[in-house]
């Protein structure tokens, strides 16, 4: 089967992506100390660009020192970070029209920084970290909106093609969306509208500063998979609201560290053993798609087979497909598929990459390394 749609171009706002393959944001622990971008980080992204991915989304990049997830996480909270990011963007742009977005994050209730207290919309104890975060005041939330906007402006100035807000997996922005972690009584809590206010305010703040052409994307929690958490019906409404407010692309996701306390094989990085386990966010993506109009839909989660990806795209169920673990094993996967080898990704979803990430060392695929040793 020819993978015609998979390798056809499509726009996000006015930026053309050369094919429908996105690298989903993937933490790699390869920045230098204090979050500076150095050679090993750039080399990793160069490998992805060389491998044929149309749109590369960087790993979660911290907007504030209080919201970092480890010493080797990329940061963009200070102008001194800019030169490394500019170098990265220029390198990726050397590869036949590859586009690069930056993912912006604050760890929120999942943070455990030695110097900064853990903060969140509400002081709800986390079984996962053992920490009860400090509740932010309304004024502090407005300050955080400015912090996200400032990082987005830096990303624009560094030449990134777009930004993606990380509002999934239990981190800061996700904490506002979820009724389990947001019990506020002010304008940032309560109704869905209030719980998404922070996202809209960041969107509007950025849009005002960078004009109408720069795409603003969001990785969006659409289901928490925890008791009393965000449920699918609300997630679908959220996506609709954000598309109407102007977001240019939505990558629906769910779960996170806290959902893993309730079920081992859960979102966002589920184990995929059989074809029926693949494309696990497709059922919810289908319910979101018809509400989106000009906003692109990016499907992530267990996409392993190019033929089923082609069919999903041909049927217009989503606009792009997004890969994380498969590109750790095979950064050259898009080129392999484009050259006619239609066999599925070699990734066996063992999540060994995840275990390596948790150790705080540069991420790699253990399965691949073991096979290479034989």
Could you give the residue ranges of the DSSP H alpha helices within 158-231? 172-177, 192-195, 197-210
Judged by CB under 6 A, the chain residues 215 through 244 that form the site for ligand FMN are 219
Residue 283 makes CB contacts below 8 A (sequence gap 6+) with none
Of 369, 370, 361, nearest in space to 27 by CA: 361
Which position among 24, 151, 221, 279 is part of the footprint of ligand FMN (CB under 6 A)? 24
Judged by CB under 6 A, the chain residues 94 through 153 that form the site for ligand FMN are 103
Judged by CB under 6 A, the chain residues 63 through 82 that form the site for ligand FMN are none
Which of 45, 77, 156, 171 is catalytic? The answer is 171
Q: Is 23 in the site for ligand FMN (CB under 6 A)?
A: no
- Choose between 28 and 66: whose C-beta lies nearer to ligand FMN: 28
Q: Is 353 in the site for ligand FMN (CB under 6 A)?
A: yes
Q: How many of the other CB atoms lie within 10 Å of CB of 220? A: 27
Judged by CB under 6 A, the chain residues 251 through 310 that form the site for ligand FMN are 253, 268-269, 300-303
Q: Residue 202, CB half-sphere, CA atoms under 13 Å: how many?
A: 31
- Choose between 193 and 359: whose C-beta lies nearer to ligand FMN: 359
- Taking CB under 6 A as the rule, which mask of x and - marks residues 190-219 in contact with ligand FMN? -----------------------------x
Count of residues in contact with ligand FMN, rule CB under 6 A: 25
CA 269 to chain centre: 12
How far apart CA 298 and CA 285 sit, in angstroms, is 9
How far apart CA 199 and CA 210 sit, in angstroms, is 16
Residue 217 makes CB contacts below 8 A (sequence gap 6+) with 12, 57, 101, 162, 163, 164, 165, 247, 248, 249, 250, 251, 298
Q: Annotated catalytic, 329? A: no
- Taking CB under 6 A as the rule, which mask of x and - marks residues 34-63 in contact with ligand FMN? -------------------------xx---
Chain positions contacting ligand FMN, by CB under 6 A: 24-27, 59-60, 103, 166, 168, 219, 253, 268-269, 300-303, 323-326, 353-354, 357, 363
Active-site positions read 171
């Amino acid at each position: 089967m020819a993978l015609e749609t998979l390798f056809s171009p499509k726009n996000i706002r006015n930026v053309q992506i050369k094919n429908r393959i996105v690298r989903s944001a993937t933490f790699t622990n390869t920045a230098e100390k204090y979050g500076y971008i150095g050679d090993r980080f750039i080399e990793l992204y160069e490998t992805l660009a060389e491998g044929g991915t149309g749109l590369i989304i960087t790993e979660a990049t911290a907007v504030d020192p209080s919201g970092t997830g480890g010493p080797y996480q990329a940061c963009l909270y200070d102008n001194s970070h800019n030169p490394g990011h500019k170098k990265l963007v220029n390198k990726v742009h050397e590869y036949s029209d590859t586009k690069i977005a930056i993912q912006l994050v604050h760890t929120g209730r999942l943070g455990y920084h030695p110097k900064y207290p853990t903060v969140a919309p509400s002081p709800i104890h986390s079984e996962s970290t053992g920490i009860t975060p400090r509740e932010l005041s309304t004024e502090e939330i407005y300050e955080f909106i400015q912090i996200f906007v400032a990082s987005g402006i830096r990303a624009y100035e560094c030449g990134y093609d777009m930004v993606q807000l990380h509002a999934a997996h239990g981190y800061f922005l996700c904490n506002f969306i979820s009724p389990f972690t947001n019990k506020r009584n002010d304008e940032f809590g309560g109704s869905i509208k209030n719980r998404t206010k922070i996202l809209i305010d960041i969107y509007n703040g950025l849009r005002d500063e960078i004009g109408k052409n720069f795409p603003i994307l969001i990785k969006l929690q659409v289901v928490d998979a925890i008791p009393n958490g965000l449920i699918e019906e609300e997630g679908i409404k959220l996506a609709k609201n954000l598309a109407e407010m102007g977001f240019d692309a939505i990558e629906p996701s769910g779960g996170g560290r806290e959902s893993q306390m309730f079920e081992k094989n859960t979102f966002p990085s589920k184990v995929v053993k059989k074809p029926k386990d693949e494309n696990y966010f497709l059922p919810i993506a289908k319910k979101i798609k018809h509400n989106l109009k000009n906003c692109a839909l990016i499907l992530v989660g267990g996409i392993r087979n190019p033929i089923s990806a082609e069919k999903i795209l041909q049927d217009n169920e989503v606009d792009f497909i997004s890969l994380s673990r498969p590109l750790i094993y095979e950064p050259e996967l898009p080129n392999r598929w484009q050259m006619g080898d239609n066999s599925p990704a070699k990734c066996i979803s063992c999540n060994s990459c995840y275990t390596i990430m948790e150790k705080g060392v540069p991420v790699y695929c253990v399965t691949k390394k073991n096979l290479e040793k034989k």
